[in-house]
Structure 1
Amino acid sequence: MSNGSVAELRQEQDYFDQAMDDHEESFRSDPIEGGGVGTAAERRAMQKHRDSKVRLSKDDAVASRRYVLDSGETYYIGKVSIMNADGDVAVINWQSKMGAKLYQSTARDPNGVVSRRQFHTTGNRIDQFSDTLYQELAQKVSSLEDELRADPVLRTSLEAGRDGKMRDIVQTIQASQDKLIRADKDQLLVIQGGPGTGKTAVALHRASWLLYTYPHELTPDDVLVVGPNPSFTKYIQHVLPGLGDVSVKQTSVVELLTHPGIHVQGTDQESVAHLKGSEVMAEVIAQNLSNRIKAPTTSIRVRKQNSGAYYIIEPVKLRDHINQLRQGPYSRGRKQVRAKILEECGKQLLTQAAAKYVEQTVDARSLDNVLDRIWPRISPQVLIREMLGSRSRLAISGQGLLSTIELSLLFRRSSGTMAKEPWTAADMALIDEADFQLNSDSRRWGHIIIDEAQDLTPMQLRAIRRRSRTGSMTVVGDLAQSTGAFARDSWTDIQVILQSRLPSNLKHLEHGYRVPREVYNIAARLLPHAAKNVRPASIIRESGSKPRLFNVVASQMAREVAKQASHHSSKGRFVGVIAPPEQFDVLRSAFRSEGVKFSDSANGELGNSINLVSPEMSKGLEFDAVVVADPPSHLGYG
């Protein structure tokens, strides 16, 4: 590796300045057709991407790398493709086919690459650059890990300070990551990755690559990103817009499943959360709905309009029809029963022509009353509230499906009003399932990204699966970090629940870039217990600082946490204070009494300095420094 001369740096800066001018000019002039490098198809793809008006910001450089091939061709690669005034390609997009060849090159498998120049920039100003000669590097390194450690741009990126926003990794995409980013669209792709392996970044860049590669099949508003909680969504929400994909829906799983007027304001014991999250609840809800339908056993009477007379229909005329409709969507069945009642009323008119207008002869209120007795109207939230709040309804709904103990666990006395109902996160998936069984019309997306998927319940997974149009999904997570009611040590059940006609593939990210070795070695001790089948990641980064353990009495724990968090914050570090929710109140008080400013993840906040987060809320987030509050186990917080 070598650093460039002042003259070379000036020459490169001139190239960057001209490319930025050409980029800005493209927003002031008509698209230019022309020649340049690459195939005609690649040039058309570049032109199409330019037409989408992805504009570099003041914080962006036109390129992050320059590659020289053994053919003598030179390629600059960046976030967007840039053409000069002659129609030649000055910078190629990282998402292009040539971008794949370049990003997937390594010293041991160069793909025709002779050298790589990596730029360190501030905005579009080049601070310095470094050159890697692949043949020379291949003689110096014995493994991919050695090559990664020797990457100056990657090392600089890993050592840079964090803040409240996740950054894109266009500058540092590694070969193994790039292969997953560009994997075929039509599959269920499950990516297992330990801490710091870049699985979230891979998933987001994959979404951007899919949008670039399949413009006729996917648009930004046809892609859904589902994260574990609102703080995580806030943390990652700037990555895709920064890559030019501004209309992708990004949300948390609870927010995705929450219906208007319903708010999570309660919690379940783990045994209850596990039961509510089990797939059997879909059958319980279906049985509840089926038992609400009552085929008539006596004659039904529908009043005629403006008359004291009635249409009288014998139960045998409706019974078989009603029973056939039980298995379909509930709301559609109600409409079909209504049509059947009108049909039977029409048969009692004198002529077939008159039967076409039978609805005009029927009293609407009388018809609705009859229909409500047979096939009641109900909303999904009312259905779940009534089911959970009634031992008798639960017993009928769970007959043959749930044990007496399980029925007892599910029972929750209803509050006085819907607004005061102590809805839990697990209830959101039940309401969503009820809504689907009632109406069967969930919004569907062309591709879905699921992050931290290892913690999702089967009911949550069902809810996400039915929002997929074809089964095309990217699922990422880490089994070793699986917690909650459905802690897993295998991806099998998730793959089964999310399966479709498309193939399912499990891939692994094996290199840990972000987490320092000193921290990972402590966490790795738990790996044989947490997920014995998961291979530990190969860590390439060392911080030079070992984690410190502070032994303090319980009464001083909160003050010491505030002190240590403030110490790291004063040095400009992005700090995470991780504690169980039961400790939040005492920590908040300690922060305030010590004059420490902080952001509270319980309110969906994620600030630029000190952030108070629970272990669950911390998943996927990155900090420069972490303070873990570990109260004594005899207080119930260990």
Structure 2
Amino acid sequence: MPAPVSRPPTSSTSTSTTSTSPTPTDPRAELAAEQARLERARTELARMREHTLSLTADGGDAIAGEALAHTLWLRAKALQDDPATTLFFGRIDREAAPGDGMEERLYIGRRHVSDGHGDPVVIDWRAGVSTPFYRAGTHDPMGLRLRRRFGVEGGQITAFEDEPLGGTGDGGPVGGADRSSAGASGGASSILAREIERPRIGPMRDIVATIQPEQDEIVRADVATTLCVQGAPGTGKTAVGLHRAAWLLYAFRERLARTGVLVVGPNRAFLEHVGAVLPSLGEVSVRHTTADDLVVGGTSARVRATDSTEVARLKGEARMAGVLREALWGAVGPATEALVVPRGSRRWRVPAYEVQDMLEELRGRGVSYSAARAMLHQRLAHAVMVAMERSGDSPDDRVQDAVARSAPVKAYVKAVWPEVKPGAVLARVLSTGEHLDDDQQALVWEEPPRTAAGARWSAADLVLLDELADLLDRTPSLGHVVLDEAQDLSPMQLRAVGRRASTGSLTILGDLAQGTTPWSTASWEESLRHLGKDLSAPTTHLEELVRGFRVPSAVIDFAARLLPAIAPDLAPPESVRSNPGRLDVIPVDDAVAGAVTATTDAAAHEGSVGVIVPDAWMERAGAALRAAGVEHEVMDGTHAEEGLGVRVFLVPATVAKGLEFDQVVVVEPAAIAAAEPDGRTGLRRLYVVLTRAVSGLTVVHAEPLPGPLAATP
């Protein structure tokens, strides 16, 4: 494969978006022209931002003005330039139309940039015309003659590499190579491979310059489509989900600006890790939350208790939804007495049997408890109206409203259809065992609280309270929800996420082999059902990513020894990186002391270092690193990456999921596995921590390795 063109840039005039002349053969001049194009793009972006900042937020009134000011602020923030990156990372040259002789040249970047006349300088990667940059190949050029990728260092273009795709041109400038696809396998592009394998420090970067064809198909799926992505470690499923959110906001901005987009992750450390991706793509309005915080946001209750594993599993089962529904609607009593409404000199009566028919009809409508209760007022008032009309009166709508608000109707409704609170219903269920099966009796409190307000709720309880809150008043639906690490959520947690997208769509990301909770899903079909989606529906699809771009083959092959024991039905991941990476398995006498040595050695390499230890070892490992003078930061699930100058991160095994580091030191695999409630879950946890490395993995152990890892491959 010819090396990419790489020369220091020199000053030159910028190229235009349309060219009729052959591509220059002088690499230095060509590189200088592309750098000049970048400088022009930066100048135009600065002009666009200055224009936005100069606009006056006059919406006609205070509320409209405030809304417009916020919109302009978001626009200006999205137009900020990042000097560490380039505004474009690729170029596509389209074939000239027959008889036209004009070849179209488009620069593909993170956002749209136009000149003062409105003509494009950079095309947003999300635009439809950018699709061929990601999907075209010699087998299907998609109208392209050439694709160019740029090498970038410090925000400057330092190299370019061309890929002829079709037509009868001369193949472009020096450095081009005849390649058949945009993939990173088979030596397709050294610039692409370097970008994928480039060491990283700090939060996750966007992958907009390296999106692969199979990833691009997921990213650009229609907004009405719910996608479930089964992805092996290193396949980029998290980044694909985030880029899908960015693409949807671009392609369906007006719709999603009203309904909103939400990203749900496993913990705060994960959200800190991925939080910079969408802002780097110009999207600053997407909300991020964890599955736990999602339900906390819907209730004033807070976690003050911890359930046993068995109790937490029982509370997370889908049948709890039926228990709560029965308990809530069981509050509606039978109509044993007639409703009597005095009005003027008359007393109007609605028989009990007629009221009972109303109750049954309202219960069967499928609306929320509170909505049905509000309807009952009007139903009773209407029955009184009918009685008035039968007696010869002519009441109008104002009379019906007055009757619905009258004291007798309010008192009657309160008696047969009382107002309830989620906490009171759940406290009653958990203290009395009402509606619970025999095998659910472990849920009953031995010492029930005297009041719901005094209850000590667990994390699983908050999910149940969220379910009850939805039964009382329907949860508003968002336009799109991205759910990562979905395999770890209980059925009740999945229901909580699903109702946030009841009229919208979802992107569900996960890996069945990385399920590490006692309630991990057995299949994606089951998870989708709890989310309120049907895999057999034409708008719901299951996709599988097996090509790994981040985890090197030496690392993934070692971790894959665990797959037959933890997920025998899944295809093993395939690393397509040119660099096999580094794997060191080091037996030691003292695992913590060995970890310090291994961390020092790993820090000699470029990039970030993650030291992953059993949760119970965090204090001991941290003390050992401090004593050795190793500066590090703790990622404990509540905070992370406060200072990008720190390269070493100490991570408990239960928080490692979703994170990536260039160098990873895994300390005492046997202890990590043994900390889980059963052997299979322990091996799955181990599979997770072993696949966090994107360059090199060091395994330090004093105890024997778990069987599948100890065996000779």
What is aligned with 1:17?
39
Please show how residues 116-515 of structure 1 align to structure 2 within 5 Å: 116-134=147-165, 147=185, 149-219=187-257, 222-258=260-296, 259-295=298-334, 297=336, 315-316=352-353, 318-327=355-364, 328-338=367-377, 357-358=402-403, 362=407, 371-388=413-430, 390=431, 392=432, 394=433, 396-398=434-436, 402=437, 404-409=438-443, 411=445, 413-414=447-448, 421-440=455-474, 442-497=475-530, 498-499=532-533, 503-515=539-551
1:435 offset after TM fit, Å?
0.6
Tell me, which stretches of 5 or more residues in structure 1 are unaligned? 32-48, 305-309
Between the aligned partners of 2:83 and 2:484, the Cα distance in structure 1 is: 30
* Structure 1 residues 228 and 385: CA distance shift in structure 2, 3 A: same
2:489 counterpart letter in structure 1: L
8 A Cα contact 2:161 2:176, kept in partner: no
1:622 offset after TM fit, Å?
0.8
1:103 offset after TM fit, Å?
1.5
Greater displacement, 324-333 / 226-235? 324-333
1:436 counterpart letter in structure 2: D
What is aligned with 1:83?
114
8 A Cα contact 2:164 2:179, kept in partner: no
Greater displacement, 230-239 / 80-89? 80-89
What is aligned with 2:571?
535
Greater displacement, 240-249 / 569-578? 569-578
1:603 counterpart letter in structure 2: T
Deviations 1:275-313 (A, max 9, x none): 222211110001111222322546789999xxxxx9998
Of 566, 573, 576, the residue aligned with 2:610 is 576
1:623 offset after TM fit, Å?
0.8
1:520 offset after TM fit, Å?
0.3
2:407 counterpart letter in structure 1: V
Deviations 1:470-507 (A, max 9, x none): 34222221122122123345321123333266521112
1:63 counterpart letter in structure 2: F
Between the aligned partners of 2:400 and 2:178, the Cα distance in structure 1 is: 89
* Structure 1 residues 311 and 627: CA distance shift in structure 2, 3 A: farther
Greater displacement, 265-274 / 50-59? 50-59
Between the aligned partners of 2:143 and 2:186, the Cα distance in structure 1 is: 19
2:81 counterpart letter in structure 1: L
1:139 offset after TM fit, Å?
8.8
* Structure 1 residues 321 and 493: CA distance shift in structure 2, 3 A: same
8 A Cα contact 1:220 1:245, kept in partner: no
The SS at the match of 2:501 is coil
Greater displacement, 472-481 / 123-132? 123-132
Between the aligned partners of 1:210 and 1:437, the Cα distance in structure 2 is: 30
Between the aligned partners of 1:246 and 1:296, the Cα distance in structure 2 is: 53
Between the aligned partners of 1:355 and 1:116, the Cα distance in structure 2 is: 71
1:572 offset after TM fit, Å?
5.8
1:578 offset after TM fit, Å?
2.6
What is aligned with 2:59?
none
Between the aligned partners of 2:142 and 2:117, the Cα distance in structure 1 is: 29
Of 619, 626, 629, the residue aligned with 2:667 is 629
Q: How many percent identity over aligned positions?
A: 31
Between the aligned partners of 1:94 and 1:513, the Cα distance in structure 2 is: 20
Between the aligned partners of 2:490 and 2:250, the Cα distance in structure 1 is: 32
Between the aligned partners of 1:491 and 1:634, the Cα distance in structure 2 is: 26
* Structure 1 residues 584 and 602: CA distance shift in structure 2, 3 A: farther
Tell me, which stretches of 5 or more residues in structure 2 are unaligned? 7-26, 54-73, 97-102, 676-681, 683-713
1:374 counterpart letter in structure 2: V
Between the aligned partners of 2:669 and 2:177, the Cα distance in structure 1 is: 51
8 A Cα contact 2:85 2:156, kept in partner: no
Deviations 1:560-590 (A, max 9, x none): 4355445534656423233343433444454
2:547 counterpart letter in structure 1: H
The SS at the match of 2:230 is strand
The SS at the match of 2:211 is coil
What is aligned with 2:62?
none
The SS at the match of 1:268 is coil
Between the aligned partners of 1:336 and 1:481, the Cα distance in structure 2 is: 47
* Structure 1 residues 362 and 582: CA distance shift in structure 2, 3 A: same
1:3 correspondence with 2:8: no
Greater displacement, 122-131 / 311-320? 311-320
What is aligned with 1:44?
none
8 A Cα contact 1:300 1:315, kept in partner: yes
* Structure 1 residues 290 and 412: CA distance shift in structure 2, 3 A: farther
1:357 offset after TM fit, Å?
4.4
8 A Cα contact 1:284 1:397, kept in partner: yes
Between the aligned partners of 1:467 and 1:397, the Cα distance in structure 2 is: 27
2:87 counterpart letter in structure 1: V
1:60 correspondence with 2:85: yes
Between the aligned partners of 1:282 and 1:371, the Cα distance in structure 2 is: 26
Between the aligned partners of 1:87 and 1:326, the Cα distance in structure 2 is: 58
Deviations 1:374-405 (A, max 9, x none): 333322233223322x1x3x2x322xxx2x12
Deviations 1:61-103 (A, max 9, x none): 1211122344343222111223334544332221112210121
The SS at the match of 2:509 is strand
* Structure 1 residues 299 and 90: CA distance shift in structure 2, 3 A: closer
Of 126, 141, 144, the residue aligned with 1:113 is 144
Between the aligned partners of 1:581 and 1:156, the Cα distance in structure 2 is: 34
Q: Relative CO higher for 1 or 2, CA cutoff 8 Å, sep ≥ 6?
A: 1
Between the aligned partners of 2:278 and 2:258, the Cα distance in structure 1 is: 10
2:123 counterpart letter in structure 1: I
8 A Cα contact 1:67 1:115, kept in partner: yes
The SS at the match of 2:256 is coil
8 A Cα contact 2:235 2:545, kept in partner: yes
1:456 counterpart letter in structure 2: L
